[in-house]
Amino acid sequence: MTATNAPILITGAGQRVGLHCAQRLLDDGYPVIFSYRSERPGVQALRERGAIGVFADFSSEAGILAFIAELNTHTQRLRAIIHNASAWIAETPDEESRAFTDMFSVHMLAPYLINLHCSPLLQRSSPADIVHISDDVVRKGSRQHIAYCATKAGLDSLTLSFAAQFAPSIKVNGIAPAMVMFNEGDDAAYRAKVLAKSALGIEPGPEVIYQSVRYLLDNPYVTGTTLTVNGGRHIK
Ligand SMILES: NC(=O)C1=CN([C@@H]2O[C@H](COP(=O)(O)OP(=O)(O)OC[C@H]3O[C@@H](n4cnc5c(N)ncnc54)[C@H](OP(=O)(O)O)[C@@H]3O)[C@@H](O)[C@H]2O)C=CC1
Ligand SMILES: Nc1nc2c(c(=O)[nH]1)N=C([C@H](O)[C@@H](O)CO)CN2
């Protein structure tokens, strides 16, 4: 599929999965606008390839609305919005409410407000897509990440509602990964434990998410769907 000149917005692209997907979208000829919260080497690398970086702190309504206002100064059209930004916070004593509200804001309020305010930008592109990046853990729940899982479940609900609301001009889908890439501090015992949870038992890396994004962007007959990308955790 040839790239259009309407840019693709991807949130939280300063590192890891978001950075990889932004790089691959640039490789495939798409103009990219990305959000970042912290200055990282990946942010500069994207700028040097011509991507437009927009600061965003999605932990408050004011921060989300400020991002939306800034985004609208950079473009009048969008080919797609990929909601990748996320905080993976476990429950800790005395921090429960702050963690819950932070993850509600980044996983639910930000996609909700960005989709509502930016749908006119998507309406000026055909085809047009929204992709919510969720988590396979929603399927079963999580004892260690209760608020994280609940807010990702809310994101899955937004996929269904926005798919119905925006059809047929905008497709809305989700991607629910399990283990994609470890974090630097993950020790060997934790890595072995996590890898044992899936039938395929590998750390696939971020390309599997980009492949899923491309499937959703390129397929004209998929909406209201969340792709499971979990190495077969559900059959283990
Ligand atoms: N990695 C994995 O194995 C898995 C990942 N996923 C999902 O895939 C997606 C990508 O994962 P991964 O690359 O590990 O994600 P990260 O943990 O690296 O988070 C991505 C970015 O989100 C940004 N972010 C976090 N909180 C906020 C906030 N309040 N406002 C603005 N930006 C924020 C961070 O920006 P900054 O760094 O600039 O502060 C960060 O770089 C996420 O949605 C994640 O939940 C699901 C299952 C497994
Ligand atoms: N925002 C993030 N979400 C998630 C991460 C992460 O690093 N950042 N990591 C995971 C784990 O890999 C988990 O899938 C291991 O079981 C989940 N979500």
* Mean pLDDT of the chain, nearest integer: 97
Atom of ligand 1 lying closest to residue 17 CA? 13
Judged against a pLDDT cut of 80, whether residue 226 lies above it is answered with: yes
Amino acid letter at 98? R
Is the dihedral angle over the CA atoms 111, 114, 120, 126 positive or is it negative?
negative
User: Looking at the CA of 181, which ligand is closest?
Assistant: 1
| 214, 222 contact by CB (below 8 A) | no
Predicted confidence at residue 3, as pLDDT, reads 47
Nearest to 61 by CA among 102, 100, 14: 102
Judged against a pLDDT cut of 50, whether residue 150 lies above it is answered with: yes
At 4, is the pLDDT very low, low, confident or very high (cuts 50, 70, 90)? Answer: low
Does ligand 1 lie within 6 Å of residue 16's CB atom? yes
Judged against a pLDDT cut of 80, whether residue 224 lies above it is answered with: yes
Does ligand 1 lie within 6 Å of residue 56's CB atom? yes
| 48, 65 contact by CB (below 8 A) | no
Query: What is residue 219's three-state secondary structure?
Result: coil
Query: Is there a catalytic annotation at residue 148?
Result: yes
DSSP line for 136-197: GGGGT--SS-HHHHHHHHHHHHHHHHHHHHHTTTSEEEEEEESS----TT--HHHHHHHHTT
Atom of ligand 2 lying closest to residue 16 CA? 7
Our CA angle for 9, 11, 12, nearest 5°, is 145
User: Looking at the CA of 191, which ligand is closest?
Assistant: 2
Strand partners, 132: 83, 174
Which residue out of 67, 86, 102, 197 has the highest number of ligand 1 atoms within 8 Å of its CB and is therefore the one to mutate? 86
Catalytic residue among 30, 36, 148, 210: 148
Q: What is the pLDDT of residues 43-95, one digit of tens each?
A: 999 999 999 999 999 999 999 999 999 999 999 999 999 999 999 999 999 88
User: Looking at the CA of 205, which ligand is closest?
Assistant: 1
Does ligand 1 lie within 6 Å of residue 195's CB atom? no
| Alpha-carbon gap, residue 190 to 195, rounded angstroms | 9
Compute, in angstroms, the gap from residue 175 CA to the centroid of ligand 2: 13
Q: What is the pLDDT of residues 110-145, one digit of tens each?
A: 999 999 999 999 999 999 999 999 999 999 999 999
Pick left, alpha or beta for residue 231 (phi over 0 → left; psi -120 to 50 → alpha; otherwise beta).
left
Does ligand 1 lie within 6 Å of residue 134's CB atom? no
Query: What is residue 14's three-state secondary structure?
Result: coil
- Output phi, psi for 21, to 5 deg: -65, -40
